[in-house]
Chain A
Amino acid sequence: MDETISIVLFSGTDDKLMSAATLAAGAAALGKPVKIFLQYWGLNAFRAAGIDTDHGLAPEAGEVGKAAVEAAARAGMATWVQTLRMAKELGEVDIQACSASMDIFKLKQADLDPLVDGVEGVAAFYINAGEGQIVFI
């Protein structure tokens, strides 16, 4: 059985980035290889210059959701960036930027945070995903 978990990270708000980071970190802790493929707003959030800034929340958060997330952050809940860094230290987590999204935003790998390991196209993504599960966020 292929244990690899492949996460397509399309969304760029902090709640969805945290959701992806949690799934990645959990799989890494269980010893499963993890691949994260960054597209569109997910990729945009990994710009070196802005990775630690506020990326907002999904529209359904509303005021109550926003207050709850902000309270958790103040209470010291790890950010998605910290969670991903820890996951990479502990397990096998490979983060690749989608080459088409790189073109759209006119990005080079040097513009991205060092968490990103490389740039690849969709065919390489599928080959690396193998027979494992694919999650879209």
Chain B
Amino acid sequence: MDIKLKVDASGLSCPLPILRATQGMKTIATGELMEVVATDPGSVKDMAAWASSTGHTLVEQDSANGKFRFVLRHK
């Protein structure tokens, strides 16, 4: 998988992970992938809600050792 941009939102509490995601999406183009890593457990529901509301696609999501990882495709 060709990740264009990696965003580390570890240690940040709501609403910063989705703000960082918004910031990141502005720097990549249609079809490109962005990976976001967060430690805020709320980011699991938040990132899905953010993606569905903004039209970007959440293509992959997993968690390990208290970290939540999301891969999103720019609409």
Contacts and interface: CB of A to CB of B under 8 A. Distances in A.
Interface of A: 22, 25-26, 28-31, 72, 76-78, 83, 86-87, 89-91
Contacts of B22: 28-29, 90-91
A29 B50 contact: yes
Given A29-B21, A29-B22, A78 B53 contact: no
B11 interface: yes
Interface residues of B, number: 16
A89 B27 CA distance: 14
Contacts of B19: 25, 29, 83, 86-87, 90
30 contacts: A22-B14, A22-B15, A25-B15, A25-B19, A26-B14, A26-B15, A29-B15, A29-B21, A29-B22, A29-B50, A29-B54, A30-B49, A30-B50, A30-B53, A30-B54, A72-B13, A77-B13, A78-B12, A78-B16, A83-B15, A83-B16, A83-B19, A86-B16, A86-B23, A87-B19, A90-B19, A90-B22, A90-B23, A90-B26, A91-B22
Q: Is the interface of A mostly helix, strand, loop or mixed?
A: helix
Contacts of A76: 11
Contacts of B53: 30-31
Contacts of A22: 14-15
Nearest 3 pairs between A and B by C-beta? A30-B53, A29-B18, A29-B22
Given A31-B53, A31-B54, A26 B18 contact: yes
A25 B20 CA distance: 11
